[in-house]
Structure 1
């Protein structure tokens, strides 16, 4: 199967550079990378152009005008420009374990989508990574979710499980089949501002009779420290989520099909 890796980003080129460098170290490269850029400045475009000159696979820059936090639209634009049968999405602050792409691919099954975890790095260890490229070990300080550092294929087979809930949804580390995301019309672009767009997306996948695999001890991402986004739109976003839950919606109206002209 052809695999697309989609990376969201917004005005943090240092983190994006670290993420792209971790892509280059993968035991199994994706077939393409698409940067879902929510309106970054020209310095991000310059960085991507620099990588494009030597990147071993297609590296596509999908940019939209900066008009507030519009992650749903940004992801939909990138999905439309992608061509993979299987799509992995991460945030631009998630540095990848070297087996990351391979883990998602090995666990991909028809009728399922994948949610994997992350290790949260503190401010000091994030600064260390930027300075030296060093990643934490199980015994490092200044990290949260320490058990998520463990990569073990045997443990992964034992502890990964079906979990058809929206709890612990993190769109910073998910994967799904292209056909499935198109059938629900992608992310709901009614969401503007941080919060709940990923949970609502998961509910529609579950309402479409798909199963969620909660991937443990594999698909490891290292979440770089940053200040939290504004929650001022959360009340409105909660209402959109509740509408999807109460009406068992499978498809959003304001979604991926708006970008038909970009579909690969």
Structure 2
């Protein structure tokens, strides 16, 4: 297969189903989906068992027991379980536009990772999106979104930019090309070399820290935030706390200061 799409989830079946339907209608279908499940209850497995016969690509469920927010660990297990040389990362609350996988494969290049972005939707539109809205791509149609109450904004260019205009916006955006967990991709051999995600880190910056170690390895990043599009469904974030942020900030400071490439607690710790 050309790619493995790895997405994290935790007890969010309604959003996860919408995301899987988004991947079911991709213009490029030669990929597998790996669900990195950080301890969901049985409803997630039931959902995947129901959807598996309805989609054409393999749907792999990698699960671990619930031990608090351990996204880094389950993502590492998903990396090990992947069967492709190229890995695309997103989250189970981000619906991909139909050219998402094709775009990541188009821009992939040895010595680089790709940095995409997202368009955050309000809760009312997140809930309103139906299976048909995804299949027929209405949820990416700016006219449909405006009719559902989406405010007008320059950010809407993320949904409307194509071709040279998208390329121009990728080049001039002030946002740095970082590893973003909701929309990033890279070569499996690079991720394995740096020992994957740092499992000492919980919520807050663990994705960026992985990207910083890829930079330390010598990789560069390409900005594709206006080309590889996902819409981010709204949800509560009850796992955020100040102590974790401070701990993660200190780890990132050490990674940058000491040019750390391989995390001491990563893939090989499992």
Q: TM-score, normalised by structure 2?
A: 0.89
The offset of 1:54, in angstroms, is 3.4
1:208·1:250 contact (CA, 8 Å) conserved in 2?
yes
1:231 equivalent in alignment to 2:235: no
Aligned to 1:83: 83
Partner residue, 1:174: 184
* 1:212 and 2:216 aligned: no
CA distance in 1, matches of 2:114, 2:171: 10
Q: 1:142 — aligned with what?
A: 150
Q: How does 1:40-55 map to 2 (within 5 A)?
A: 40-55=40-55
8 Å Cα contact 2:5-2:34 kept in structure 1: yes
* Cα distance per residue 1:203-262 (max 9 Å; x no partner): 000111100101143110000011124321111111111111111101101101234xxx
Residue from 156, 166, 175 that aligns with 2:166: 156
Instruction: Determine if the alignment matches structure 1 residue 183 to structure 2 residue 187.
Output: no
Contact 1:5 1:34 in 2 (8 A): yes
- With 226-235 and 77-86 compared, the bigger mean Cα shift is at 226-235
Q: Which residue of 1 is the match for residue 211 of structure 2? A: 202
C-alpha contact 2:21 2:131 (8 A) present in aligned 1: no
SS at match of 1:200: helix
CA contact (8 A) 2:69 2:239 kept: no
CA gap of 1:55–1:258, structure 2 versus 1, over 3 A, is farther
- Counterpart residue number, 1:27: 27
For 2:258 and 2:238, locate their aligned partners in 1 and report how far apart those are by CA, in whole Å: 29
Match runs of 1:122-141 below 5 Å:
122-130=122-130, 133=133, 134-139=138-143, 140=146, 141=149
Please tell me whether the aligned partners of residues 179 and 208 of structure 2 are also in contact (alpha carbons under 8 angstroms): yes
Is the counterpart of residue 112 in structure 1 residue 106 in structure 2? no
Structure 1 range deviating more: 127-136 or 250-259: 127-136
C-alpha displacement of 1:131: 7.6
User: Is there any run of 5+ residues in structure 2 with no aligned partner, and where?
Assistant: none
Task: Write out per-residue CA displacement over residues 84-119 of structure 1, whole angstroms, 9 at most, x where no aligned residue.
Answer: 110001000000100000000000011000011111
Query: Aligned Cα RMSD in Å?
Result: 2.2
Q: Decide whether the 8 Å contact of 1:166 with 1:199 is kept in 2.
A: no
Shift of residue 156 of structure 1?
3.5
Q: 1:240 aligns with which of 251, 256, 259?
A: 251
Q: Distance in 1 between matches of 2:269 and 2:15?
A: 30
What secondary structure does 2:129 align onto?
Answer: helix
Secondary structure of 2:209's partner? helix
Structure 1 length as normaliser, TM-score? 0.90
C-alpha deviation, 1:154, in angstroms: 2.5
- Report the structure, 1 or 2, having the larger helix content: 2
Q: Deviations over 1:15-61 (max 9, x none)?
A: 11000001111000242111000000100000011122233121110
